[in-house]
A and B are shown apart, each in its own frame.
Chain A
Amino acid sequence: QSVLTQPPSASGTPGQRVTISCSGSSSNIGSNSIKWYQHLPGTAPKLLIYSNNERPSGVPDRFSGSKSGTSASLAISGLQSEDEADYYCEAWDDSLNGSVFGPGTKVTVL
Chain B
Amino acid sequence: QLQLQESGSGLVKPSQTLSLTCTVSGGSISNGGFSWSWIRQPPGKGLEWIGFIYQSGVTYYSPSLTSRVNISLDRSKNQLSLKLNSVTAADTAIYYCARVNLGKGRALDIWGQGTMVTVSS
- Chain A interface residues (CB < 8 Å from chain B): 2, 32-33, 35, 37, 39, 43-47, 50-51, 54, 56, 86, 88, 90, 92, 96-104
Contacts and interface: CB of A to CB of B under 8 A. Distances in A.
Nearest to B104: A50
Contacts of A33: 105
B111 interface: yes
A90 B46 contact: no
Nearest to B107: A50
Contacts of A102: 46
Given A35-B105, A43-B113, A101-B47, 10 more contacts: A35-B107, A37-B108, A39-B47, A45-B108, A50-B107, A88-B46, A88-B47, A98-B63, A101-B39, A104-B47
B109 A47 contact: yes
A104 to B, nearest CB: 4
Interface of B: 39, 46-49, 51-52, 60-63, 96, 98, 101, 104-109, 111-114
B27 to A, nearest CB: 16
B104 A45 contact: no
A44 B108 contact: no
Contacts of B46: 2, 86, 88, 101-104
A96 B105 contact: no
21 contacts: A35-B107, A39-B47, A44-B112, A45-B47, A50-B101, A50-B105, A51-B105, A51-B107, A54-B104, A56-B107, A56-B109, A97-B60, A98-B60, A98-B62, A99-B106, A100-B49, A101-B48, A101-B49, A102-B46, A104-B46, A104-B47
A48 to B, nearest CB: 10
Residue among A32, A35, A86 with max Cβ neighbours from chain B (10 Å): A35
A36 B52 CA distance: 18
A98 B113 contact: no
A30 B96 CA distance: 27
Nearest to A88: B47
A45 B105 contact: no
Contacts of A100: 49
